[in-house]
Amino acid sequence: MKSTSKMVGNWELSRKTIPVQFLSFAEAYLDSACRLCKILKRSTRKRTYPRSAVVLYLAFHSVELFLKAAILNKSPNDDLGHDIKKLSNRYRNLYPGKKYNFEIPFGTEYLGFEPPDKLPTPPPQDQTNRYPIDKKYKEWEGSFGFIPETFLITLEVLQRDFERIKRGIYGYQFYAADSVPSPLTNTFEQK
């Protein structure tokens, strides 16, 4: 029996620009978040907070990489960190207008009450869904919840936004140079 196994490797990205490499990872993280979120939506047995945190982390990291891809496409020498708010502000300065606008689905909500005037510093979003505790081995402050059915809608909107913005930023050239299927649509783009 012939094996249908095929090794994949980083050489798939070696001839792509740095922004497209970031974009490829952003799409892969988002696709993985969607797939796991669908599993959590279907299975109450698998619907656990640790798995939910993984979905949130994958989605968060996807947005971070997507913003970095767009920023590096226009400003390749930018010094980029992990702060979504700073990345978002830089992105919006480089890409103003509705054509490039999308809602970043991460923030703090105060359900049923007004936030206090002086808020404690929230835990770092890039860490709360990555680790169960902080560096001092203490639980994160706050309550964190997740509803797969609702967040799946958010992820699907994010997928559509990524596709729309990707076409606006990279245009037809991106698809003509890319010979692998888009992780978001699972179809080959044609020249």
- The answer as to whether 2 is a domain residue is no
Cα separation, 109 vs 18, whole angstroms: 35
Q: What is the pLDDT of residues 148-189, one digit of tens each?
A: 999 999 999 999 999 999 999 988 555 434 444 444 444 433
**Residue span of the structural domain in which 92 resides:** 16-107+122-177
- The answer as to whether 115 is a domain residue is no
When the pLDDT of each residue in the chain is averaged and rounded to a whole number, the result is: 85
Q: What is the pLDDT of residues 84-124, one digit of tens each?
A: 999 999 999 999 989 999 999 876 555 556 666 666 677 78
- The answer as to whether 41 is a domain residue is yes
Our count of domains for the chain comes to 1
Among 1, 54, 4, 58, smallest CA distance to 26 is for 58
- The answer as to whether 188 is a domain residue is no
- The answer as to whether 28 is a domain residue is yes
- The answer as to whether 190 is a domain residue is no
- The answer as to whether 64 is a domain residue is yes
Q: What is the pLDDT of residues 37-51, one digit of tens each?
A: 999 999 999 999 999
Q: How many residues does the chain have?
A: 191
pLDDT reading at 32 higher than 60: yes
- The answer as to whether 3 is a domain residue is no
pTM exceeds 0.75 for this model: yes
Largest Cα span, the chain: 68
CATH number (domain holding residue 155): 1.20.120
Query: CA distances (Å), 154 to each of 56, 147, 180, in order?
Result: 11, 11, 26
Q: How many CA atoms lie within 13 A of 10 on its CB side?
A: 2
